[in-house]
Amino acid sequence: MAYAGEIEAAMKEMQVLENQFALITGASRGIGRAIAESFAAAGCNVALASRNLQESRTAAEEIAGRHRVRAVGLQGDVSRQESVRKLFQQLRAWSSDRLDILVCNAGYPMRPEIWNTPLGTTPADKLQAWYFGVFSTDAMGAVFCTFEALPLMMARRSGRILYVSSTPALEGYQGGPYTMAKAAILGLMRDVAREYGKHNIRVNALALGNIETPATTDQLDDESRRALAAEAPLKRWGKPEEVGKAALFLASELSSFITGQVLVVDGGTVRR
């Protein structure tokens, strides 16, 4: 077939993200760490950001040693604009003002009392704190990081931005503050993709289902874990490294004509 050679060339080219620079927020553990590992395995230099500087640095040291790329651990609270500004100052100093890939993964901690309380039964004195708390980290954190990243990408006329959302943002589920914030991320993604495609910046999102990390499974009993696994046609939890592979696809030239889209990673629960 005529296009076989082009596909082969693309596959060879994108086996690595060699010499590129990525920032992943919420990257010291779990899904963010898996994305950083996936990028580094593909040759990408990675900056790992989280609120805990020591955890970020430890993860970066391990990744650098394993994959022989440059890696740095940074501290930042994405819910605060000034903190994000300082985070990007450190990033720019490390990467010489280069950023090829931004992954907005940082999210508000999963708190059972928020997740399990419907809007109508939310205590009145908790309403604003719960909804604004989650929104400021998940949605506004993505806004603040994107605001800082865009000038770096526009200067090079190249970039990829990836937002981590969830399947409740597509269909609803429970945990209203989380659903609302993750849905806002998808709106942001579509607007940024539409506006900045002319600068050769591609913008997409992952909508994650049940992914097995300590943040999700440690708070569940065995029966709940089994029930959630059974929701998916594949009848299991997803693994962080599977999210990492999906993120690598959207961050690479294998998806070079894809922007403004949501890739669902949930074992087939949501089918659309």
Question: Active-site residue numbers?
Answer: 178
- CA distances to 48, 170, 185 from 239, rounded to whole Å, are 20, 21, 22
List the end-to-end C-alpha distance of the chain, in Å, as a whole number: 31
- CA distances to 27, 62, 110, 187, 234 from 219, rounded to whole Å, are 21, 27, 9, 30, 22
Say whether 52 sits in a helix, a strand or coil.
Answer: coil
Burial class (CB in 10 A: 0-12, 13-18, 19+), 54: exposed
- CA distances to 49, 143, 165, 181, 197 from 211, rounded to whole Å, are 21, 24, 12, 18, 30
Q: Where are the beta strands (DSSP E) in the chain?
A: 21-25, 45-50, 71-75, 101-104, 159-166, 201-208, 262-265
* Dihedral sign of CA atoms 228, 232, 233, 236 in order: negative
- CA distances to 107, 117, 177, 216, 238 from 111, rounded to whole Å, are 12, 10, 11, 10, 20
* Dihedral sign of CA atoms 139, 143, 149, 154 in order: positive
